Chains A and B, each alone.
Chain A
Amino acid sequence: MNLLNKFKDPKLCLNILAQIRAEINGEFRFMEVCGTHTMAIFQSGIRTLLPEQIVHLSGPGCPVCVTHDREIAAYLALSEKDLVIATFGDLIKVPGPGGRNLKMAQAEGARIKVVYSAFDALQIALENPDDKVVFLGVGFETTAPTVAAVIRMAREQGVGNFSVLSFHKLVPPALKALATDQQITVNGLLLPGHVSTIIGLEPYLFLAQEYKMPSVIGGFEPLDILQAILIMIRQKNQGQVEVVNNYKRVVSDKGNARAMEIMYDVFVTCDALWRGLGVIPDSGLAVRKQYQDFDASVVHDQKLPQVEEIPGCKCGEVLKGLISPDRCPLYGTRCTPARPVGPCMVSTEGSCAAYYKYRL
């Protein structure tokens, strides 16, 4: 048995579950802010094993789900120009205003390429010098550094037909917005493992210091998740709150300094629009002026269009943990994975899709 299998070992997991059951004291609402956690919790069946007092909420942790309608409208508008759009697969089916998505744009003739990384997008630009290639930069701190590295590489190589439409977002400012929102009641935060590999522990410390919020960086195997829940419950019970890195086999407390340096060399923080959360100060990453030849919003003069909100869609309230997905009036009737109205239903990591796909 290799080490990773240990973190799936049913015996060890059931042992932690028993401790959770023994120590839980009243209702405990925990929120994860990472799409991979959402999926892991549903797929492993943990939800059906936790005691009833534990309420699992999926916060704004899926980069596709928090992408604002106006941002979707912007890249759909770009796709109508004479460009090649390179994107991660997740965005292909996300509906924008009027239900339009990249798949429909492709059927109408837009040139859309699904890539695994921004490097592949740059490669497409190098191989097709007559085409202008735009990479859709949607994601958190996990992906932003590699996109930054690709922009630097493009500048070093003097590539003139490659640019990035940056809608990157930062997790800690969103957590701050959640912590200050009086409407939201959360007793603990399961912090995102992937994002933390880049930013480390420090950007989260305010959660314990200013907001007394039990917060644990956790991995994605069942044992990781259960341990994190147990630590949060203990912190709440004992009244001793701190930010814990419980994913040390992957996350260094200091994060990845090199990745952060590249990210902030190319990008600068800006106010960003989040679905459901609105404008959050300093929560986005814009391409710096000195790299503006690679900024698709400048090169192709693409602003954020004004759009109408999707009527009836409660993705915003779902993302804040105010309602469970099945409380949205569109859930399961007008909004299903086959015909999604909101992005939380289309993204494989969206909480509505997870609810629809996995809940018994």
Chain B
Amino acid sequence: MSERIILDYGSGGKASQRLIKDLFIKHFGNPSLNRLDDAALISGLEGCLSMSTDTFTVDPVFFPGGNIGSLAVHGTVNDVAMLGAIPKYISCAFILEEGLKMDDLNRIVSSMAMAAQDAGVLIVTGDTKVVPRGAVDRIFINTTGIGSVVAHPPPSGSRAVPGDMILVSGSIGDHGLAILSHRQGISFETDILSDSQALNHLIIKLIREVGDVHVLRDPTRGGLATTLNEIAQQSGVELFIEQEKIPVRQEVEGGCSFLGLDPLYLANEGKFICILPEKSAGKALEVMHADPAGQGAAIIGHVRQGRKGKVVLRTALGGHRLLDMLEGEQLPRIC
């Protein structure tokens, strides 16, 4: 039988030390972390900084295209990057359920290490707690990231102005459908992979090659529609979106229609919305298409005065309707 996490591992005593050395240092090891002091000594951060924190509680823990570990790194790295910043350091705190398989933890920690390496960030401090069976669902991870802002002025949800173009970096809804279909035990002919990936390298290329980017946001929970609404409200403008230009994979569209879901409200973990002046849109699209993380990028609409704080969708038929925020969670329907 494989080894399992027991409460001793969170005691702070010898068992905890073993877990830190044999698992975390082994995978994450770097000079700041290896010192094993109470806090990480970091250097090299100057000027404006970007900082973000997020807690990950995904079910299932392992999903097609990733797991909670890679997601915990990508999620925070991406949030830090959305201010036009280069993420440098992250912290990670684990809450583990008594009985979690050591092999599973190993897999999760090793994919965190790989994700951090790909993103070019160091995991410099962390914490582990073990709670009795049933107090959490296997594993929760919190990560906090910090990085240096290179965009001046930094992008913000409040900087969209009429005339700007609205871009997304690729297909919408992949992560949400990958998770939901596995949670419901429904598989499709083509297994849909989560899009979980780090976006920071592409973001920096954009900032350096395109210049002033007004808004960068990653449409995670609540999906594209909800994030667009947040931007419309923060900026006090109307976002006009053309449905047929929104990239959605056929499998995702099919799966959504089967489950009674709308891809525009499904979470994404490796896509971003970019709003910038019309004159830079072509160049931005070029930069995105040249990067593996932006292959499916498309211009999906523009910003106008119109109905302030609202998102208006032009449907494929040419009709118009509101594209509203998600209200609570999407639930499977009766008929």
Contacts and interface: CB of A to CB of B under 8 A. Distances in A.
A140 B314 CA distance: 33
B322 A89 contact: no
Contacts of A43: 315, 321
Interface stretch (A236-244, A256-264, A316-324, A352-360): A352-360
Interface of A: 8, 10, 13-14, 35-36, 42-49, 63-64, 88-90, 92-93, 114, 116, 138-140, 142-143, 194, 222, 337-338, 348-349, 356-360
Contacts of A116: 184, 332
Q: From DSSP, what is the main secondary structure of chain B's interface residues?
A: loop
Contact of A46 (B319, B332, B333): B319
Interface in B309-333: 312-322, 324, 327-328, 331-333
Contacts of A36: 335
A63 B334 CA distance: 8
Contact of B334 (A8, A139, A357, A360): A139
Contacts of B328: 93, 338
Interface of B: 184, 260, 307, 312-322, 324, 327-328, 331-335
A357 B320 CA distance: 12
A9 to B, nearest CB: 9
Contacts of B312: 360
B331 A47 contact: no
A14 B319 CA distance: 11
Contacts of B315: 43-45
Nearest to A358: B321
Contact of B319 (A47, A93, A114, A348): A47
B319 A143 contact: no
B331 A10 contact: no
A114 B331 contact: yes
A189 B137 CA distance: 49
Of A64, A116, A138, chain B has the most CB atoms within 10 Å of the CB of A116
Nearest to B321: A358
A25 B324 CA distance: 35
A65 to B, nearest CB: 11
A330 B260 CA distance: 28
Given A63-B334, A88-B334, A90-B331, A360 B322 contact: yes
A64 B260 CA distance: 15
A48 B319 contact: yes
A21 to B, nearest CB: 14
